[in-house]
A and B are shown apart, each in its own frame.
Chain A
Amino acid sequence: MIDTPTTSEGSVTALATEFPPAATTTGPSARTRANRRRTVLAGARLGIVVVLLVAWQLSVDAKVVDPFFWGEPKGVWADLVDWFTVGTSQGSLGAQILVTLEEAVLGFIIGSILGVVCGIALGRVRLLSELFAPFLKAANSIPRIILGSIFTVAFGFGIQSKVILAVVLVFFGVFFNAFQGAREVDRNLIANARLLGASRWQVTRDVVLPSAFTWILASLHISFGFALIGALVGEILGANQGLGLLIRSSQNNFDMNGVLAGMVLVAVIALTAEALITLLERRLLRWRPPQTHGGAAVE
């Protein structure tokens, strides 16, 4: 969240990073102070949310904002409660979330793996990059979301067309980062590995891949967002199930509260995924010095 461009779901936590982490001076008093500071911060953030929601609701009640177009917090909440307790028009809410999640996660995993493999391969083999570079560059400049229409027609209303759209969206982000990462590997490290007896494949596996991983992981943060977008857009374009369809049918019924409730659910999913990716990152980049690594973006 600090240096990756924030996607729609990022704005809330981005706020947190504006404040430098509390200075870690020694002694228990410093620690309690830091704890207190964190509590106050969390309270302040909650306050901001409450103020915004209340202001929204009050403007609706005062007839300044028309809830027909913009919805209202009470209505959104009512829809959420209704979906959770009674279920949606398409079946239980859990099933809808699971379908969308499945599409996004599958698309994310397949797209990331393809991106990493292709990026590293093209970064390592000059001929490949010379051969395919223009195509990939051209493909990247296409607004790929449009492909969703084709996939829906070609692969049907099921999960397949959404997964493919998510893969296409995820692939390029990961690919370009992996490619760049493979190109930027310290030449000394490669020379050292070669002199120590590593084969070309071993250099790729033991030097290029771990070195490019800092780049790749940076792209994964954004990529899950893309996977979700792919899944949702795919569902909006045509599906039997899923959160996208829920949003779409709310729109068709002029139920803006339903659209917004769907958005809230998607945001929760995105934030959870983001937290998981951060955990993965911490684990995989253990070897890095802490100063480039710290910071409390999600607590």
Chain B
Amino acid sequence: MVSTRPTAGGGPVTPSSASLPAWLSRLHKTTGNAAIGTNDHKHSGAARPAPTVTPLNEEKGRGHMPAIELRNVTKKFATADGGTYTAIEDLSLTVEDGQFCAVVGPTGCGKSTTLTLISGLERPSRGEAFVHGEPVRGIDTSTGFVFQQDAVFPWRSVLDNVAAGPVYRGASRSEAAALARDWLRRVGLSGFEDRYPHQLSGGMRKRVALAQSLINQPRVLLMDEPFSALDVQTRAIMSTELLHLWDQTKPAVVFVTHDLEEAIALADKVVVITAGPGTVKAEFEIDLPRPRVVQEIRFDPRFTRLYEQIWEALRAEVAEAYDRTTRVAEVAS
């Protein structure tokens, strides 16, 4: 009677005309190809900015175990035309326990790919990812992940969404619900337990996603441009609240963003990634005092200074990435 199509695109398949496109089309499932040797940092040369670069990459003595470590990882994807696309190349990154690390870079530089490698959603083509010293071999449920797009379950109420993690981890329904209520209170969503996600605003859905992830007390929290779909004011408010929540459990965070201001306002460390294939161009220690109020921190003169320094490193990469897209456009036209 009514339109039942879940998404835009093809309509429901009628049996007589079912043409099964999915049977034949290979899933664009990525197959990790053997890496081809590349031996130097393509982009890491000349313009490395001096000031606050700190060599965090090396291990700090025996027995020390960073929360997250990417060791010379390369990730190649098979493309539709049979070639390979190198998303990140020889990238090394270390995040300490309790450290908030922001990763910035131009679009298409493989920022999100680094997160999928840490979470175990993808395997590196070369190199290895470690979480708390253990090599990542598959999806690691001690890792929390907040997606760029909405990934809360639209058919579950807010409460059931947040309670999902504990239930999957073996908690009873009532325990999980009690815990979920507590987390909904913490993210300021008390009273919305019975709503469905579509009845909430974008910012509220993000809070649900945060609560859904944080309720599992992850030791590692990965965030993929989580606030990019929000308007500017909501975004600043959410950022401050994120810091507040992070302070309660202090997981190691990798926060991917293309917004440098957001990165500096939130992080202890900002990592600049080169235009694709992505690799680390520079790392910057952010020594702004905590607790921070994201809406106001940009007035701090130190903020401006840091912004200038990091932008210096980022500018060339952004320009490079932009050039490429326009070049592609020229070729296409």
Instruction: Using CB atoms and an 8 Å cutoff, list the residues of chain A in contact with chain B.
Output: 1-5, 13, 126, 129, 133, 137, 140, 172-173, 176-177, 179-181, 183-184, 186, 188-189, 191-199, 202, 206-207, 210-211, 213-215, 217-219, 221-222, 226, 274-275, 277-278, 281, 285-289, 292-295, 297-298
Contact of B4 among A126, A137, A172, A214 (CB under 8 A): A214
Structural contact, B1 and A298, CB atoms closer than 8 A: yes
Structural contact, A297 and B151, CB atoms closer than 8 A: no
Structural contact, B121 and A287, CB atoms closer than 8 A: no
Contact of A4 among B12, B164, B197, B213 (CB under 8 A): B12
Besides A188-B147, A207-B153, A218-B4, 13 other CB < 8 A contacts? A140-B18, A172-B18, A181-B6, A192-B151, A195-B119, A196-B165, A197-B141, A198-B168, A214-B4, A215-B12, A226-B15, A286-B196, A287-B154
Structural contact, A197 and B169, CB atoms closer than 8 A: yes
Which residues, 1 to 16 on B, are CB-close (under 8 Å) to A? Answer: 1-7, 10-16
Structural contact, B216 and A5, CB atoms closer than 8 A: no
Structural contact, A292 and B5, CB atoms closer than 8 A: yes
Contact code string B222-249 (vs A, CB < 8 Å = 1, else 0): 0000000000000000000000000000
Structural contact, B2 and A297, CB atoms closer than 8 A: yes
Interface of B is mostly: loop
The list of the 6 closest CB pairs from A to B, nearest first, reads A197-B168, A218-B12, A297-B1, A192-B151, A218-B4, A173-B15
Structural contact, B6 and A184, CB atoms closer than 8 A: yes
Contact of B7 among A176, A184, A192, A226 (CB under 8 A): A184
With both beta carbons as reference points, the residue of chain A lying nearest to B152 in the complex is identified as A192
With a CB–CB cut-off of 8 A, which chain A residues contact B216?
196-197
Structural contact, B168 and A196, CB atoms closer than 8 A: yes
Structural contact, A133 and B141, CB atoms closer than 8 A: no
Of the listed stretches B20-28, B254-262, B295-303, chain A binds B20-28
With a CB–CB cut-off of 8 A, which chain B residues contact A180?
10, 12-13, 22
Give the size of the chain B interface in residues (CB under 8 angstroms): 45
With both beta carbons as reference points, the residue of chain B lying nearest to A190 in the complex is identified as B151
Contact of A126 among B10, B11, B27, B150 (CB under 8 A): B27
Structural contact, A1 and B1, CB atoms closer than 8 A: yes
CA distance A3 to B4 in the complex (A): 8
What are 16 A-B pairs at a CB distance below 8 A?
A2-B3, A140-B16, A173-B14, A177-B13, A181-B6, A191-B145, A192-B145, A192-B147, A192-B212, A196-B141, A196-B213, A202-B168, A211-B6, A215-B13, A274-B1, A287-B156
With a CB–CB cut-off of 8 A, which chain A residues contact B139?
194-195
With both beta carbons as reference points, the residue of chain A lying nearest to B209 in the complex is identified as A192
Identify the interface centre among B15, B18, B22: most chain A CB within 10 Å of its CB.
B15
CA distance A296 to B168 in the complex (A): 40
Contact of A281 among B2, B121, B165 (CB under 8 A): B2
Structural contact, A176 and B2, CB atoms closer than 8 A: no
With a CB–CB cut-off of 8 A, which chain B residues contact A199?
168
With a CB–CB cut-off of 8 A, which chain B residues contact A226?
15
With both beta carbons as reference points, the residue of chain A lying nearest to B22 in the complex is identified as A183
With a CB–CB cut-off of 8 A, which chain B residues contact A293?
2-3
Answer whether A287 and B196 are a contact pair too, CB < 8 Å, given A215-B12, A295-B3: yes
Structural contact, A281 and B144, CB atoms closer than 8 A: no
With both beta carbons as reference points, the residue of chain A lying nearest to B215 in the complex is identified as A196
With a CB–CB cut-off of 8 A, which chain A residues contact B11?
3
Identify the interface centre among B11, B18, B119, B164: most chain A CB within 10 Å of its CB.
B18
With a CB–CB cut-off of 8 A, which chain A residues contact B150?
188
Which residues, 40 to 81 on B, are CB-close (under 8 Å) to A? Answer: none
With a CB–CB cut-off of 8 A, which chain B residues contact A213?
155
**Residue B172 at the chain A interface, CB threshold 8 Å:** no
With a CB–CB cut-off of 8 A, which chain A residues contact B27?
126
CA distance A129 to B26 in the complex (A): 12
Structural contact, A221 and B1, CB atoms closer than 8 A: yes
Structural contact, A214 and B6, CB atoms closer than 8 A: yes
**Residue B190 at the chain A interface, CB threshold 8 Å:** no
Structural contact, B1 and A2, CB atoms closer than 8 A: yes
CA distance A197 to B163 in the complex (A): 12
Contact of B1 among A181, A184, A207, A278 (CB under 8 A): A278
**Residue B290 at the chain A interface, CB threshold 8 Å:** no
Contact of A219 among B3, B13, B212, B213 (CB under 8 A): B13
**Residue B304 at the chain A interface, CB threshold 8 Å:** no
CA distance A281 to B16 in the complex (A): 23
